[in-house]
Structure formats: C-alpha cells, structure tokens
Amino acid sequence: MAEYDQEKRKAYWRENVRLMVVLLSVWFTISYLCGIVFVEELNTIRLGGYKLGFWFAQQGSMYGFVAIVFIYARRMAVLDRKYDLHE
Amino acid sequence: MELQTLTYIVVGITFSIYIGIAFWARAGSTSEFYVAGGGIHPIANGMATAADWMSAASFISMAGLIAFFGYGGSVFLMGWTGGYVLLAMLLAPYLRKYGKFTVPEFIGDRYYSKAARIVAVICLIVASVTYVIGQMKGIGVAFSRFLEVSYEIGLLIGMGIVFIYAVVGGMKGITYTQIAQYCVLIFAYTIPAIFISLNLTGNPIPQLGLGSMMVGTETYLLDRLDQVVTELGFAEYTTLTRLSPLNTFVYTLSLMIGTAGLPHVIIRFFTVTKVSDARVSAGWALIFITILYTTAPAVAAMARLNLHQTIQPAEGGNLVYNERPDWFKNWEKTGLLKFEDKNGDGRISYTADKASNEMVKVDKDIMVLANPEIAGLPNWVIALVAAGGLAAALSTAAGLLLAIASSISHDLLKGVFRPEITEKQELLASRLAMAGAIALSGYFGFNPPDFAAGTVALAFGLAASSIFPVLMMGIFSKRINKEGAISGMIAGITITLLYVFQHKGIMFVASTSYLGDMKPNWFFGIEPNAFGAIGAVVNFSVAYVVSMMTAEPPEHIQHMVEDIRVPAGASSAQSH
C-alpha cells in the first residue's frame, strides 16, 4: 500500500511538472519572445491603433498571465482529484 | 468646493476607515498577527495581495516612467505581473502546504539549519528595507503635494498612520485594511483614466482607448503621440528602447523573479485556508493587479500627449509662462517641476534639446498625480487620486513592515535566540520590531537613494538573487543541501549588492561608488537595477555545485520535500 502510494505521488508530480513546463513556455513566448525579442518584427503588424509587438509588451502579455494562472489552478484541481491527493 | 478642503475630507475619510478596521480586526494571537489566523477567502486574499503588492511605485511612479520611456517602460508592466505566474506555480501552493508563519522558517526547516534561517532573515531584511524606502519617498511626495506640507512633514504623518494600524492590527488588521485600500486605489486610478480616455478618444475603456483614434480625426492616438514627440526631437514613443534589448530582457526577468521572491507577497499565501486556495488566490491577485497595470500604459500615453499639447497647443504657439495653469504653479511650489526662461520670450519651450529646453525639471513621479489636473478634471477626482496614492503607499509599507517584524521576532528571537519566550512576549516583541522598522525606513525616507520606482526595482533584484532560488530548489530538488543553500544565498545577494554599490555608492551614498556609475563599466551593458536575474543565476549555480560536493540532505528532509509536493494532509499555518 505504501509503495503504491509512493508511485501515485510520483506520477502526480510528473504530471504537475509537465503542465508547468507547457504553461511556462506560453509565459515565456507571450512576454519575452513577443514583447522583447521579436518586438520589431511584430510591430510591422497592426492591431487597431496598436503596433502588435507594443501591444504584447503593454497589454497582451498581462492578459495571458491571468489566463495561465487560472488554467493552472483548474488543471491542478482536476489532478488533485484524479490521484486522490486533494485536501 | 475648494480642492484643498475636498482633499482633506476624502483623505480624512479613508484614513478613518483604515484605522477603524484595524481596531475592529486587531490581532489577539501570534497566528492572527502573522497570518491572520489562516482563514482568509481566496478572493479577499487576492484583493489584499493586490493592494499589498501595488505600491507607490505602481500607483505614482510607474505610469510616469512609461510616459517618458514609452515602449521601454514595458519592463515594469511585464516584470511586475509575470512574477505571479512563477509564484502561483513554483512556490505558493507548496509553501502553503508546509504551513509555517514566515519565509525564513521554511528555509531553516528545509535546509535543517539555523544558519540558513539567519542568512534568509538577513536577505529578507535587506530586500524589504530597500523596498520600504521606495514607499517612503512615495508617501512624502503625495503628502507634500496634496496637503501642501513639506516632504518631511508628509513623511512623518505617513509613518504615524502606518504605525497605528500595522502595530495594532497585525496581519489580520492589515489584510482587512488592504481590502479597503484596494477599493480606494483602483477607483482612484481608473476613474481619471476613463474620463481622459473619453475626452481624447471617445472610448471609455482606457485599454481600448489607447488603441483608438483621436476624437474627430482619422489619426490613432499612439500615432499622434509618436508624431508630437518626434517633432520636438524626442525618441518615438512606441519603439523607444531604454539601453539594449538584452538589458530589457534581463531587467524584466529580475522583476519577475523578484516578485516571486519578495517575502511580504509570499506570506500572503500563508493566510488562505487550503493549498488549492493558494493557487486560485494568486490568480485573483493577478486579475486585481492587471486591472491597474493594463490601465497604466493608457494613462502614460495620454498624460504625455496632454502635457505636450498644454505646453504647445499649436506649432510655434507655445504657452505663455504668465498664463500657465494652476497645476503648473502648484507643482512648481514642490520643486518637482521647474521652468527657466532661457531665451527670454516669456513662453515655455519644451524640447529634447538640452540647451534650448526650458522645462529644466519634470520629475517623472508627478505624472500620475498631475494627470487629472492637466486634463482639467473636476476637483473631486483629483482628491480621489490623492487618497488612492496614499492607500497604495500605506498598504505596501504595512505589508513589508510586517514581514520585517515577523522575521525579527519569530525567526531571530523565538526561533534562534530566545525559544522560551511566551506567545504574549513574542507578540510584544513583534510590535516593538515593527516600530523599529518604521523608524529605520523613515530615516532612509529622508535620504532616498533614487526615484521611487528605481529604489523598488533594486529591492526586487535583491529578493531575486537571494530568496527565490533557495525556495524553488527547496521544493523542486531533494538534493540541494544546507551547504549549497547557504553559499548560494550569500553568493547571490553579495554579487548583486556589490554590483549595485559599485555603481550607486555604498549604502547609496553616491560619493563612495568605487568604480563610478559609468555605463562602460556595466557587465554586458546591464544596469544595476536589472542585475538581480544575474544574481539569481549565480545563486542557483553555486548552490548546485556546492551541494554536489557535499553530503545529501538527511532522509527526513527528503520525505518532507515529497510531502509538500502534494496538497493532501494540509493544516492551517502554525508555528510548530
């Protein structure tokens, strides 16, 4: 039973880390890539009055961060139940 | 009604609310004093975190910085919000699961070492005190303008108010006060922005107004702004980059890591009931913060445009100095705005050329406070902004002072030097520590090292280079041991401090900078405020190498790490 419990915890942790890696790549893309590294290229595209790179740096990245945190909270709540490790 | 009277009334009402709440929710036990008893709802906690988080730097300084740095100001927007993603995923749920009162307490337990705990306390105090200094400058600026007192008197009043409600209320009082402060500051920030956006673009939502056309024209607001500033010789607003792109990258990273490493933010997640609540609460905090942070770029661009259009309404038709508006005169009195009639024509000329520019001083910190006046908004809106700026500065100062006080009374006194003291004595000690911290930060407030946001950015660098790496490694690695953690923290914060002091002077005394604040001396062109990310990399590397060369942590520590990784079996925060 204890060994089964160990395995379960390991599997839970692996899934958690995988989810984090995916979400952190999104986090990196919308801020560092779109907002800083490729800002000049994106600035050639317009979003209304905004240049797109400028929009990512001063608006879009932040909306993305909010979405990431809530997606993480929701997915983890599902994961907690799946492995029966919730409070 | 006269602006002065109105300001006194609005500020007076909000202050009475804060103090009233503090007495209603005053702390009776150490658990209530440190973590509000651990029973705060995630949305309420998110709101309190947002107020705790958004300081004078966010409210007063940030939009002003963006107004003059344009795109270059984005580092503050991304840096101060993106850290919540790191916090929500990498730290908050696990630290909540562990369920202790303070950050050094976790570090001391995880690295089974009192020395690690003491080093963590020192890092925490250095970072937090630096941060409080920034708040004190903000408090001084806001009071001096709105109550028409000197900067020093303003600072003293602010210290007094914080003293009353933080010392009496502890975390419980602070949390409920911060909820009220969030409401005040978000109204104060968004209402003028809505009015100004409506005036300029006809769109009441500032986030959309910034991307809209100017009223009655076919020109987008940002294009118009680019045109106005480039005609005066300034760099184009939407593409202006401060220093190098590498510096922008590293600066943003420093602010993000620092956000996730600042103790006063981390302890907020000890106050919720469950591990899952810690994750959700981080999301709510970020929403409440994002409301202000996505409004700020609109405020910045519109304030900059209004400023130039007031001074130069038409080509060649510069404002006559004797006909300058009231807000101009008021800010001249504070010394933060200065005009010098260089060409003697009695008109104000504001250009990028230093020789002919007559606006010899436009302090960036005044932009948000002056913005509603520049736009000609009604007096009650201006009074509201004053109250909002004060709410932002006071709420953050209180949260930081609590983090400092709890680390002294709980970690140093109770945890290391005098474990036998009773709860009542510990409570008294933390109140005394808080009073001491207020006095110390007030002293630095009288001698501030840099403008508010700059000082704050420095605090982030220090938190990023010391606290965040050891917390993260403590959760994600079972192999990092006490030798690694201690040497990592010391290496990270030392290299960051040395770099900062080298360029800004020891303890910010400019004359003692040993190599001079010369850009050619910057490591890969990275400015001192942005150096925290490099310090964090040093911290991670040193901790890893040292850990690999020394014995692995004892078995019970490895079990503890496994245990904090799962939510099951969490209890509310406690000291033992």
Quote the minimal CA–CA distance from B309 to chain A in Å: 20
- Is the model's pLDDT at A1 over the cut of 50? no
Chain segment B39-51, per-residue pLDDT in tens: 788 888 899 999 9
Residues of B in contact with A87 (CB under 8 A): 274-276, 567-570
CA–CA separation, B226 and B348 (whole Å): 21
Distance CA B213, CA B193 (A): 16
DSSP, collapsed to helix, strand or coil, labels residue B325 as coil
> What pTM was estimated for this model as a whole?
0.90
As for the ipTM of the complex, it is 0.95
Task: Give, in order, the Cα–Cα distances in Å from B218 to each of B60, B199, B224, B241.
Answer: 32, 16, 10, 27
Which pLDDT does position B87 carry in this prediction? 93
> Within a 10 A sphere around the Cβ of B519, how many other Cβ atoms?
9
Whether the CB-CB separation of B101 and B573 falls below 8 Å is answered with yes
> Within 13 A of B270's CA, how many CA atoms are on the CB side?
27
Residue for token pair 């801020």: A31
pLDDT in 10s for each residue of chain B, 576 residues: 677 888 888 888 988 888 888 888 777 777 877 777 777 888 888 999 999 888 877 888 889 889 999 999 999 999 999 999 999 999 999 998 888 888 899 999 999 999 999 999 988 888 888 788 777 777 777 777 777 777 788 888 888 888 887 787 778 888 888 899 999 999 989 999 999 999 899 999 999 999 999 888 888 999 999 988 888 888 889 888 887 888 899 999 999 999 999 888 888 888 888 888 899 999 999 999 999 999 999 999 999 998 888 888 776 678 888 888 888 887 787 777 888 888 888 888 888 888 888 888 888 877 888 888 877 888 888 888 888 888 888 888 888 888 888 888 888 888 888 888 888 888 888 888 888 888 888 887 777 655 445 566 678 888 899 999 999 999 999 999 999 999 999 999 999 888 877 776 555 555 555 555 556 567 777 788 888 899 999 999 999 999 999 999 999 999 999 989 988 876 655 544
Other CB atoms closer than 10 Å to residue B561's CB: what's the count?
Answer: 19
Q: Does B338 touch chain A (CB under 8 A)?
A: no
A62 with B567: Cβ contact below 8 A: no
- B490-514 per-position pLDDT tens digit: 999 999 888 877 776 555 555 555 5
Q: How far is B552 from chain A (nearest CA, A)?
A: 20
Task: State whether residue B545 sits within 8 Å of chain A by CB.
Answer: no
H/E run at residue B338: strand B337-338
B294/A36 touch (CB, cutoff 8 Å), yes or no: no
Position B292 scores a pLDDT of 95
Mutate to test the interface with A, among B76, B225, B279 (most CBs of A within 10 A): B279
Contact B279 A48 (CB under 8 A): no
Mean pLDDT of chain A: 91
pLDDT of residue A62: 96
Q: Which of B79, B353, B326 lies closest to B233 in space, CA to CA? A: B353
Q: Is the dihedral of CA B184, B375, B452, B157 positive or negative?
A: negative
SS3 track for chain A: CHHHHHHHHHHHHHHHHHHHHHHHHHHHHHHHHHHHHCHHHHCCCEECCEEHHHHHHHHHHHHHHHHHHHHHHHHHHHHHHHCCCCC
Tell me the pLDDT tens digit for each residue of A22-55: 999 999 999 999 999 999 999 999 988 899 999 9
Measured in residues, chain A has a length of 87
Q: Looking at the complex, does the CB of residue B16 fall below 8 Å from at least one CB of chain A? A: no
- Domain locations along chain A: 2-82
Domains and CATH numbers, chain B: 3-308+376-564 (1.20.1730.10)
The answer to whether B502 contacts chain A (CB < 8 Å) is no
Nearest to A50 among B66, B211, B569 (CB): B211
Which residues of chain A make contact with B71, given a CB cutoff of 8 A? 39, 54, 57-58
What is the three-class DSSP state of B149? Answer: coil
Which residues in chain A are closer than 8 Å to B223, comparing Cβ atoms?
Answer: 49
DSSP 8-state class, residue B552: P
Q: Which pLDDT belongs to residue B519? A: 60
| Sign of torsion over alpha carbons B6, B7, B9, B10 | positive
Is the CA virtual torsion A59, A66, B395, B497 positive or negative?
negative
